Amino acid sequence: MSEFWIVLLSVSAGTVLMSVLSCLPGLHVYNLMGALVLGILALDGTSFAIPAMVYLPAFTGMIVSWAILNTIPAVLLGTPDESALFTVMPGQKYLMAGRGFEGTMITAVGGLAGAFFIVCVMAPLAPRYLPVAQQVLKGHMHWVLWIIITFMLMSEWPKGGNRGPAGWAKFFDAWKTLIAGVITFLLAGLLGFIILTRSPVSHVVAFQNIMPAFVGLFAIPWCLLNIISAASVPPQHTTTSLGINGDVVLRSVWSGALGGGIAAYFPIVTGGVGGMLAGHATAQRDERIFIMGQGVSKFIYYVGAFMLMFVPGLHLTRGGGAWMTKTLFTPLGWADYYLVIGCIAIAAAISYLMMEPLAKVTLKFINRFNYRHVSSVALAIILLMVLGVTGWVGMFIATVATGIGLLPVLFGSRRLNCLGILLLPIACNMSGFGETITGWLGLT
Amino acid sequence: MTENKQALPGHETQSSEMNCPSCGRFVGAVTKCPYCGAKVEKRMSLTATRWAAVLLATIGLFLLWLMAVKRDVPVVKLGDIQPTMNFAQIRLEGEVKTDARPFRTGMGMSFHFTDGTGAVIVFITKKQMDEMIENNLTPKAGDQVSFIGSLNVSDDQMSMRLLSVKEFHLTRAVAESVQLADITKKLKGSAITIAGTVTKLEVPPEESKRPYALQLKDASGEQVVNFWQAEYEQIENPDALPGANVRLRVNVGTYRDKVQLTLGSGLDLEILDGPPATDDSRTPAQQAAETYRKKAPPRDFSRGRAATAEAIPLSDITADKKGHTVRVQARVASVTPPQPDSKQPFAVLLRDGDTSLRVTYWSNVDERIADKPVPGALFEMEGVVDVFRDRPQLTVESGYKVRQVEAAPAAPEPVAIASISAADKGQIRTIEGTLGAARDLGKGTAYTLTDDSGAIDLILWHSTVPADVRTPLAEGQTVAATGTIGEYDGQLQLKANAGPSVYILR
Amino acid sequence: MKGFTHFMSGVAVASFGPWAIEAAMQGNPLFFVLGGACGILPDTIDFKFYRFFYHHDVYVTPDPINPDPQFVADEIARAVAIAVDEKRYVDVKLVSIRLGADFWQQYSVKLDNEKGEVLVKFGPVVNTGQVPVEGTENRYPAIGRAPLKTKVIQTYDARLKVDIFDGPSIGLKPLDNGDLDLEFLPWHREWSHSLTIGAILGVLVGAVAWLASGWTMAWQCFVTIAACYGVHVVEDQLGHMGSNIFYPLTKLRTPGLQWMHSGDGLPNFLTIWIGCLLIFWNLYRYQPDMTFHFGFMHLMWVGLIAPGLLFAAIRWVLTRGQNVAVVKGDGVDDEWNEMKASGA
């Protein structure tokens, strides 16, 4: 079979497979990729060895499809419990208004717009301009992380303090959530220092060092809250029109591209931070732009970060997908770059086309099955994955991280503060005083 | 939800704990109504979840911290590293392959490391670099190191990032002290210590990429040492260099086929108060050994005590193998210590069948030998093949490389002369008898040894039987002699063994 | 301007200090962090500290169980009467009405000087995104009316709409002619948005820096803080509300130039993007051993003009023949709404 057909079949298979799996709540594409990398390494050198021409397009398809289709569980399977939550995300607002399908599809349009941006704008310009940017910005990554941390902490506004006379009582009522946010950030940072300096996870599977912590900080609390949540999903309606126009799309692209691009390019800055930046760069009063911008940001972060590894003359490793792929494959030149760009385009098209039927199937599913059961199954899968890859030590780390991850949701602060697990230790290391802190902690 | 109005979307099945039980107003997640102050009961699961989260986050983190702090970082061989170990924190133990070099930006440095199973580049941050320089922990080629680092593994390369200077243990490699005239291209790649007087310091022009040139002179000759601005700035009081007596550790390299000495770090240059002192405490043998060593071919310094050289039969040692390090096993035929106040080395003659090999070593080597060679014992010796008067000999450099395999056999019980026959040729026998008159053989002395059963010639070769054994012997003395039965002109004879093989009984 | 815009403007201004870049290249992020923090600091001071200690004379607190527009109108009229009778500044707090985790009862207040009355109407229930909940528009059709003792002058378009999170505050200031001047969010930019406050803060921090590290660090901190704090004041002056620029030397807010609304998308994005380009340019100037070389105009062309033209062209293609209405900011409460929405 010619390389063309191998690549086409691989990217299609990866896209379709991950599109379906993306509907499962709590499952992250990097978890699955990690397991696949282990399998590929195990088969390496045997008669069943998987060539790069097969796994590379498949990985690309997986990342693209997850970036677009992950919206389905994020919007449709995460019903907020009014007793537990202080605020509701825009996508979930659509769900509670019976417009979950619409919200999901608007986000998917954002993903597709992001694909256009990557293929038509980023791809031709990146090899020419990103090496210049890299040369200018090298040595400055540390303060970029610090200003992101500063903005993240300073931009969280108090949610309480809305009632009562002026005074300290009102002030403390307002600052409860902010203090919870700062404590979450610091605890997550402490967890990060431990894991990045002297991880208890076996060195044999160190490439998944951080996975138990991330699962505990984000995926498990999400599943747990869904399980204990009391709210029910109102009847959902599908629609044939999304009520968007070119202006909405373009505005979403510029804000999402900025946020997602920053997250993709700078190390450690993840999609959540990119989404926050995109949200702040968007006109808040048009929720369509906000939702679509989140879709653009998420796509550019995950897919753009992966693509950076292939940019000739740059070969930046950003994002978990790129780090895992790098253990198997080193991109060599323009052929690899064009291969990945082509795979992104094909996968984006397939993913978007699968969005509508999968969203409708999921809606039927949640109408028939209690979403708590779905979340229970997802939780079991996640826990098995942690146990299988990192063992009981990983389970312990996930448990501790779950405690930290539940704090923002239960006490009303921003979940983004959990990203302190990477932001704080890495920023300290880049600035040169990480070892001082780990010395105080007795880790070095 | 308000009175008389339809329920808001999602409020149709809203739990009662959303509202205050006293005034009925929406209160959300709070446990005390902000309107009327009444207590609002929450679902047990929610309360429990909150407490569980707090306890998990704090106590769990503390336990995790304890676990991490008490954990021993595993020692991993580079050859065992797999791609799945990316980001692992591991301990490496081995040797520094190249001197640590600062980056051009000055924002850190790196060095190459090997543990015998692989090699890796190790990156050090600027702060760590500053701390290492301050504590003289900058790795140099040949140093033994043990450190903890974070691994970065990709498809085509591997690197380590040093995690802690506190856990960076370094044992400096000894840099051999060498006279300037003895520095040749054969020392390329090694680090040496030199000392002398600075005759001139050439400063490169500004904006030039040329290095500084330090012209150094000692009793044996002159050399030039090069270094760059970074090293110059590390030198303490560089203005005092011209005319100063200095000792410095340099790397030997070549440039345009000529020897080039490079100063790796300004901290390796020491300005002395006076001329570099010579080491007068050494014995003449040691000084002779030093002299001998300088003229010797380059040695292989990479092998430690545990490493053994190629074992070859004595007969294979020829002049062609000059400079090779070999290991031989044979019986000691004789041992000749050096004369007092002489520059002679110890000389051991090894014999294996008809082949013999002269082995020499100096007093400092002899001090390290656990079991001293004695005639008759089976010894294994490792050394460098040299040629002396067109004949190959073995020079032992380390007393640890001299090992007794089998002790010298004890002298057998005396036998009557009459019991000795031609069948005993080559066997060792001890005979007690009376010496006859001495007969000079040129290179030996012969006596007729007589007991009650007969007589046999006793041959004492001067090369194997020491003079202090031969000189006291006289006609009429009763002696016990141990030797090998031989035959000459059809007559059996007893060739005395090497060493003190003849004892005067009365 | 939005908070992120102010923040990036502060970082961009900080990047003009060579000491900031030199410190950054040595691993010290202090000046950039100070720049960003001071860029957003004036709003932080107001919205996260000062407003909780700002005393109001009248708290208009509708009952969520039985919202009554007449009650609200009467309370506002009472506040006006107090200001007239006692000839003093009266602060009024309009408290929001929360019905659920994501539901708020919206109500609006209109001051009709022609008829001399205040009108209060309860609108739909809105979610936290201020999107009305379908079917709730006419829950309370009645309009509350109360006569006002004097005219209440609004010098700018401040629609008093109360919905999500914290309700707005208004200040009633007696004028010489007996009328009252209405000030929206009187505690906002009262003293925090002032160039002199920025300078004072710079002096205070500089003093600490002088004790810790010496004179050089002191003046560098002062310049960074004063400049980055000041750029926030300058940016806000482009809007409607304006700031009390030289507090305590000046007493009142100076109205803004009204060139833009603080929530307008294009000015915010352009400010952020140009800030990023300026940061990039400043980093490039001090980066040693660059193998790529370009001029400022080249950077602006590649980074701003060409993409801008491309964007405009694509937008024209995509929106040809359509009547695209860009939702504009609705006046001085842009920041107030943006702050509330940021709580999400």
Q: Which chain B residues touch C131 with a CB distance below 8 Å? A: none
**Residue B184 and residue B167 share a domain:** no
How far, CA to CA in Å, does B338 sit from each of B274, B285, B335, C63? 36, 9, 10, 114
Does residue C54 belong to the interface with chain A, where contact is any CB pair within 8 Å? yes
Chain B partners (3+ C-beta pairs within 8 A): A, C
Candidate from A298-302, A419-423, B413-417 with smallest mean pLDDT: B413-417
Question: What gap in Å lies between CA A46 and CA A62, rounded to an integer?
Answer: 25
Which among B17, B68, B167 has CB closest to A194? B68
Does residue B30 belong to the interface with chain C, where contact is any CB pair within 8 Å? no
What's the pTM?
0.73
Does residue A430 belong to the interface with chain C, where contact is any CB pair within 8 Å? yes
Q: Is the pLDDT at B10 greater than 60, yes or no?
A: no
Q: Give the pLDDT confidence of A337-385 residue by residue, as tens digits.
A: 999 999 999 999 999 999 999 998 888 887 777 767 777 888 898 899 8
Q: Which chain A residues touch C265 with a CB distance below 8 Å? A: 251, 282-283
pLDDT at residue A83, as a whole number: 37
The answer to whether position B60 is within a domain reads no
Nearest CA in chain C to A165: C55
Amino acid (1-letter code) at residue C165? F
Question: What gap in Å lies between CA B437 and CA A180, rounded to an integer?
Answer: 112
Which of B86, B92, B124, B131 best tests the A interface by mutation, with the highest count of A CBs <10 A?
A: B86
ipTM, two decimals: 0.87
**Residue B189 and residue B91 share a domain:** no
* In chain B, % of residues over pLDDT 90: 19
Question: What gap in Å lies between CA B123 and CA B102, rounded to an integer?
Answer: 10
- Residues 6 or more apart whose CB falls under 8 angstroms from that of C55 comprise A165, A166, C91
**Residue B348 and residue B262 share a domain:** no
Question: What gap in Å lies between CA A26 and CA A375, rounded to an integer?
Answer: 8
- E-strand stretches of B13-143: 89-96, 101-102, 109-114, 119-124
Residue B378: which CATH number?
A: 2.40.50.140
**Confidence band of A319 (pLDDT split at 50, 70, 90):** confident
Chain A partners (3+ C-beta pairs within 8 A): B, C
Q: Please answer yes or no on whether A87 and C317 come within 8 Å at the CB atom.
A: no
pLDDT at residue C12, as a whole number: 96
Q: Please answer yes or no on whether A246 and C339 come within 8 Å at the CB atom.
A: no
Q: Which chain A residues touch C55 with a CB distance below 8 Å? A: 165-166
The answer to whether position B8 is within a domain reads no
Q: Which chain B residues touch A204 with a CB distance below 8 Å? A: 82, 84-85, 88
> What is the nearest CA distance from C236 to chain A, expressed in angstroms?
17
**Confidence band of A424 (pLDDT split at 50, 70, 90):** very high
The answer to whether position B322 is within a domain reads yes
- E-strand stretches of A90-224: none
- Residues 6 or more apart whose CB falls under 8 angstroms from that of A119 comprise A341, A344, A345, A348
Question: What gap in Å lies between CA A411 and CA B392, rounded to an integer?
Answer: 87
Which among A96, A207, A411 has CB closest to B87? A207
Question: What gap in Å lies between CA C108 and CA C96, rounded to an integer?
Answer: 11
Q: Please answer yes or no on whether A86 and B125 come within 8 Å at the CB atom.
A: no
Q: Please answer yes or no on whether C48 and A132 come within 8 Å at the CB atom.
A: no
Do B492 and B486 contact (CB within 8 A), yes or no? yes
| Dihedral angle computed from the Cα positions of residues B183, B184, B187 and B190, in that order, rounded to the nearest 10 degrees | 50
Does residue C101 belong to the interface with chain B, where contact is any CB pair within 8 Å? yes
Does residue C181 belong to the interface with chain A, where contact is any CB pair within 8 Å? no
pLDDT at residue B17, as a whole number: 62
The answer to whether position B31 is within a domain reads no
Q: Please answer yes or no on whether C291 and A284 come within 8 Å at the CB atom.
A: no
Nearest CA in chain B to A404: B57
**Confidence band of A213 (pLDDT split at 50, 70, 90):** very high
**Confidence band of B7 (pLDDT split at 50, 70, 90):** low
The encoded tokens of residue A124 equal 């031709």
**Residue B134 and residue B116 share a domain:** yes
- Provide the β-strand partners of residue B447: B458
**Which is more confidently placed, A399 or A89?**
A399
The answer to whether position B325 is within a domain reads yes
Among B144, B114, B163, B59, residue whose Cα is nearest residue A203: B163
Which of C96, C99, C107, C136 best tests the B interface by mutation, with the highest count of B CBs <10 A?
A: C99
Residue C200 burial (C-beta neighbours within 10 Å; 0-12, 13-18, 19+): middle
Q: Give the pLDDT confidence of B62-113 residue by residue, as tens digits.
A: 999 999 998 888 899 988 888 888 889 999 999 998 888 888 777 789 999 9
Question: What gap in Å lies between CA B306 and CA B398, rounded to an integer?
Answer: 12
Do A269 and A302 contact (CB within 8 A), yes or no? no
Do A131 and A313 contact (CB within 8 A), yes or no? yes
How far, CA to CA in Å, does A193 sit from each of A198, A425, A433? 8, 5, 12
Q: Give the pLDDT confidence of B417-452 residue by residue, as tens digits.
A: 999 988 888 888 899 999 999 988 888 899 999 998
pLDDT at residue B399, as a whole number: 80
How far, CA to CA in Å, does B468 sit from each of B229, B458, B471? 66, 17, 6
Question: What gap in Å lies between CA A68 and CA A20, rounded to an integer?
Answer: 12
Question: What gap in Å lies between CA C48 and CA A269, rounded to an integer?
Answer: 26
Q: Please answer yes or no on whether B83 and A328 come within 8 Å at the CB atom.
A: yes
Which among C66, C102, C136 has CB closest to B3? C66
Q: Please answer yes or no on whether A135 and C59 come within 8 Å at the CB atom.
A: no
pLDDT at residue B106, as a whole number: 75
**Residue B399 and residue B289 share a domain:** yes
Amino acid (1-letter code) at residue A137? L
- Residues 6 or more apart whose CB falls under 8 angstroms from that of A126 comprise A307, A308, A311, A314
**Confidence band of B286 (pLDDT split at 50, 70, 90):** very low
> Residue A42: in which H helix or E strand, if any?
helix A29-43
Q: Please answer yes or no on whether C27 and B9 come within 8 Å at the CB atom.
A: no
Q: What parts of chain C have a pLDDT lower than 50? A: 330-332, 343-344
Please tell me whether residue A201 adopts helix, strand or coil conformation. coil
The answer to whether position B115 is within a domain reads yes
Mean pLDDT of chain B: 81
pLDDT at residue A382, as a whole number: 87
pLDDT at residue B277, as a whole number: 62
Nearest CA in chain C to B7: C136
Among C187, C124, C112, C116, residue whose Cα is nearest residue C161: C124
**Residue B233 and residue B291 share a domain:** no
Which among C95, C272, C292 has CB closest to A163? C95
Q: Is the pLDDT at B54 greater than 50, yes or no?
A: yes
Question: What gap in Å lies between CA A45 and CA B373, rounded to an integer?
Answer: 55
Which among B26, B107, B127 has CB closest to C99? B26
The answer to whether position B101 is within a domain reads yes
Does residue A385 belong to the interface with chain C, where contact is any CB pair within 8 Å? no
Q: Please answer yes or no on whether A82 and C166 come within 8 Å at the CB atom.
A: no
> What is the nearest CA distance from C114 to chain A, expressed in angstroms?
32
Residue with tokens 């449709």: A76
**Residue B401 and residue B330 share a domain:** yes
Q: Please answer yes or no on whether A400 and B155 come within 8 Å at the CB atom.
A: no
User: Considering B171, B206, B230, which residue would you say is the last residue of a domain?
Assistant: B171
Which among A82, A154, A250 has CB closest to C101? A82
Tell me what the mean pLDDT of segment A132-144 comes to: 90
Q: Please answer yes or no on whether B155 and A326 come within 8 Å at the CB atom.
A: yes
Does residue B229 belong to the interface with chain C, where contact is any CB pair within 8 Å? no
pLDDT at residue B299, as a whole number: 39
Q: Which chain C residues touch A268 with a CB distance below 8 Å? A: none
> What is the nearest CA distance from C282 to chain B, expressed in angstroms?
19
pLDDT at residue C333, as a whole number: 52
Q: Give the pLDDT confidence of B151-167 residue by residue, as tens digits.
A: 988 766 788 999 888 88
Does residue B21 belong to the interface with chain C, where contact is any CB pair within 8 Å? no
* Sequence ranges of the domains in chain A: 3-440
pLDDT at residue B489, as a whole number: 82
Question: What gap in Å lies between CA C224 and CA B128, rounded to an integer?
Answer: 30
The DSSP output letter for C239 is S
The answer to whether position B56 is within a domain reads no
Indicate the number of domains in chain B.
4
Ordered DSSP codes for B197-264? EEEEEEPPPTT--PPEEEEEE-SS-EEEEEE-HHHHHHSSSGGG-TT-EEEEEEEEEEETTEEEEEES
**Confidence band of B30 (pLDDT split at 50, 70, 90):** low
Please tell me whether residue A123 adopts helix, strand or coil conformation. helix
**Residue B353 and residue B291 share a domain:** yes
Whether a cis peptide bond, with omega within 30° of 0, leads into C248 is yes
* In chain A, % of residues over pLDDT 70: 93
Q: Is the pLDDT at A158 greater than 50, yes or no?
A: yes
Chain C partners (3+ C-beta pairs within 8 A): A, B
> Residue A225: in which H helix or E strand, if any?
helix A220-228
Does residue B476 belong to the interface with chain C, where contact is any CB pair within 8 Å? no
pLDDT at residue A217, as a whole number: 93
Do B193 and B248 contact (CB within 8 A), yes or no? yes
**Residue B181 and residue B166 share a domain:** no
Print the domain residue range for B498.
417-504
